[in-house]
Structure 1
């Protein structure tokens, strides 16, 4: 095994501060830009500036620079790293539960999403990956990997893409990043190929993709948690909720690890900006998130796009998903959206698709609460998809839910869209993404948009507010004709028929399936049979 593949066991070896100090020495303009960036960050973190709403989705280009075939990492390994970044920066990583109780309330969702770029700087389609063979055995922190002329690869415009170079790094160096304010040509993150993702060439103890998480933290203006003053207690990372600590922690410390009179809880060594092993760093704090968001509002305001902070779904498909969902719906999600389901679905649709789709639903609900509709085509959704029953009922349903499912067409994605796991971009629209709760963005997760474009203003369950329509009764039907929820039952019956039809056409993703299950359970609560 070559020397460059052996990481020193006790050292994460990040080269970010060395690069920072070199730029301070070489470029007077860098120092001035950094001063302005820090002044902006200070004002933003003191609450004098509004943070951007929602989440920021950042396009990523991964430049694989390799000398040997082993260093030319696979697409699967790259995908694993992107998935890790999305979990770590959205606080959905499974090991977040390991945060000690005193620090758990400080753990925060950074509201960042990462996706491989789909368009290159020339407007051509791309998979977001470049591959360059080099004669260089091992790069260092001198930025030579970032230029064609020095055996590396030129970066893409740094105001449009997050450039990540994956290459062999020498001297035990795991990675490094350039703080905002540096030269545009070298802006981005570098990670050694043995610490990227969680498969393939990734090697323990840095084999869970946390090197990239750490370095992107630097790229978003985070300092090391101990303040980069060696082992003293006078440094600062300019974040109030990270305890002062006496130097970097390595390996797997035990809680509490006390230094710099920071007892009883001690160092926050499980923070992504310390030097511990990958399986030990698991969190960002609220203060660090505020600093990253200030960076996105200031020096990195040109990159990425604001999207809805939709709830992050579990990895699809769930282990307990019914076979029909696993075989048929996953097949559909893997494909690009079709332009006209009625004409182009073809052989890929589920085999049990009816020969004729339901073209017209009655404009007025039946007096029997929808039982006839139920007999004519509404199916109970798979029971194992969602075991939780809705706590409350939806508020508004459409007055005219009639729709021709054969005319449903996915729309071209707008600037603000929701991207379901494994599926192409879908139409959301501003109203679908706005948070109706007091306090606006960030206080309550915004509900996801319906996975298909509806032909009428029918409001699906997933966008409901959790309250029944005004004046509607929640009592089961009675024989005296009193206001007993018949109209609401009829509307639910029509909505259930609609969900069933979409399922037969192979057009429900996981969210749609969950919404179908919730609507069914709400229907039963209202007295439906």
Structure 2
């Protein structure tokens, strides 16, 4: 796929959508799997699925497929790319500070880490890199680089590793990825050797490793930010906090760049899922992160391990700090502490505690303690917890309380007969009709969740997939039941004063989805 062929050396040409369309045409099961993946993503982003906590560390295998010695990139260049990924997906890149002020509040930490695999599929130690010499001078987006038989390298198991092929690509192609739901044998990301890492063979303006960041975004189910509808304004990337924009941005646009009536702030061209130069793309949004996390909890749930999210900081921050920490704490304390403190602690406290303490403890402890404990304490324990239970239960309500919310309360809300769904936010948003989403094009009735059309789904599209043999109505009712239960939880938590601002927003989104599905 190419959006601008006038200056191919300046174009970030990504083949992901071409691969997506090819799989829709060639693999009947791919459309069905994609439909279910999008249904899962929709539900997760509306708050009906609890996302995993902490960070996810993904093992990576880099398959270097080279035709010339120059293309056989070094370990240092590969390490530089892994470091870039860890910064970009943790919002620890130094250039995150360049995000324009209107977009800064939605810039987000994706809570993802990447590491070269330490063991191969057979359990043997590995450095996470394979190297294959090929007779092919340039690959395209037909996946031949992913098979030994066609001059490439076979993938490692896709449910255990993120496969990245680094090779010579032809026709100005920088890279491409396969969305979740495709064949396991071709799952992964392909990047040209001149766009990988930030040293060695990497060439400007794609020499900061952002091509791989972009393609892994696709691998985690992100679409291009403009919705892949050419230069139109009707496409969607299925993310709420990315502005609608009229086509891809190239090079280094100046903020604001307005299109599709999205002023005054205009396009979010600094997003990793646009087509700008490496030094201009710097952020993911909260909505994109929610979509990637939904992918990790759904079609890619088998890969990676959960680890603690230790805060990362841009490289520029720690430069001077270590010098200060290593000087003073080592020099001064050893002089003062050994001189005075040990003598005082040895003399006085030991005298008192050894000579007088034991006698008193033995006399008083046995006499008084044995009499008083049985008499008073059992009575007190029986009385106290029941005196004022109403004050304590809301602080730590058991799960049972959250689920057992009367139907009346679900409808009327926690305060004075007002609907629970009106109460949380000003403006009576609960009374406003939910705007229907744009329906699928009749000419393409079999497309999954309208992925190939770039259109948003209709209300009917939001129903869960029908199992073989029917049962659509039963599954729709089951989904409505799940939303009703979720809304009941929000109502109870609100009544107890336990919803923060983020929780209120999630409540609003869940209610909108409930109405969209035919509830109320």
> TM above 0.5, one fold?
yes
1:320 is displaced (CA, Å) by: 5.2
- Paired with 1:72 and 1:369, the residues of 2 have a C-alpha distance of 66
Q: Write the deviation string for residues 22-76 of structure 1: whole angstroms up to 9, x where unpaired.
A: 0000001000000000000000000011001100000000000001000000000
- Paired with 1:272 and 1:304, the residues of 2 have a C-alpha distance of 22
- Paired with 1:157 and 1:168, the residues of 2 have a C-alpha distance of 23
1:8 is displaced (CA, Å) by: 1.8
Corresponding residue of 2:98: 98
- Paired with 2:17 and 2:314, the residues of 1 have a C-alpha distance of 36
More helix by share: 2
Maintained 8 Å contact 2:94/2:314: no
Aligned positions of 1:406-417 closer than 5 A: none
Aligned positions of 1:382-461 closer than 5 A: none
- Paired with 2:154 and 2:307, the residues of 1 have a C-alpha distance of 29
* Secondary structure at 2:163 match in 1: strand
* Secondary structure at 1:266 match in 2: coil
Corresponding residue of 1:183: 183
1:367 is displaced (CA, Å) by: 8.0
Corresponding residue of 2:154: 154
Maintained 8 Å contact 2:87/2:314: no
Corresponding residue of 2:286: 286
Q: Write the deviation string for residues 318-368 of structure 1: whole angstroms up to 9, x where unpaired.
A: 445349969xxxxxxxxxxxxxxxxxxxxxxxxxxxxxxxxxxx9xx9585
Maintained 8 Å contact 2:60/2:115: yes
Q: Write the deviation string for residues 196-248 of structure 1: whole angstroms up to 9, x where unpaired.
A: 00000000000000000000000000000000001000000000000000000
1:257 is displaced (CA, Å) by: 0.4
Maintained 8 Å contact 1:145/1:165: yes
- Residue ranges of structure 2 left out of the alignment (5+ in a row): 1-5, 328-337, 347-395, 397-520
* Secondary structure at 1:64 match in 2: strand
Corresponding residue of 2:300: 300
Corresponding residue of 1:225: 225
Corresponding residue of 1:111: 111
Q: Write the deviation string for residues 481-524 of structure 1: whole angstroms up to 9, x where unpaired.
A: xxxxxxxxxxxxxxxxxxxxxxxxxxxxxxxxxxxxxxxxxxxx
* Secondary structure at 2:176 match in 1: strand
Q: Which structure has the bigger radius of gyration? A: 2
Change (3 A) 1:263 1:291: same
* Secondary structure at 1:174 match in 2: strand
- Paired with 2:12 and 2:111, the residues of 1 have a C-alpha distance of 26
Mapped pair 1:321 → 2:326: no
- Paired with 1:125 and 1:76, the residues of 2 have a C-alpha distance of 19
1:267 is displaced (CA, Å) by: 0.3
1:11 is displaced (CA, Å) by: 1.2
TM-score normalised to structure 1 length: 0.60
- Paired with 1:268 and 1:283, the residues of 2 have a C-alpha distance of 9
1:312 is displaced (CA, Å) by: 1.7
Aligned positions of 1:267-282 closer than 5 A: 267-282=267-282
Corresponding residue of 2:3: none
* Secondary structure at 2:306 match in 1: strand
Aligned positions of 1:133-144 closer than 5 A: 133-144=133-144
Corresponding residue of 1:384: none
TM-score normalised to structure 2 length: 0.61
Number of equivalenced pairs: 332
- Paired with 2:109 and 2:192, the residues of 1 have a C-alpha distance of 26
- Residue ranges of structure 1 left out of the alignment (5+ in a row): 1-5, 327-361, 371-437, 439-529
Change (3 A) 1:69 1:27: same
Change (3 A) 1:319 1:76: farther
Corresponding residue of 1:59: 59
- Paired with 1:325 and 1:66, the residues of 2 have a C-alpha distance of 45
Maintained 8 Å contact 1:90/1:113: yes
Maintained 8 Å contact 1:7/1:172: no
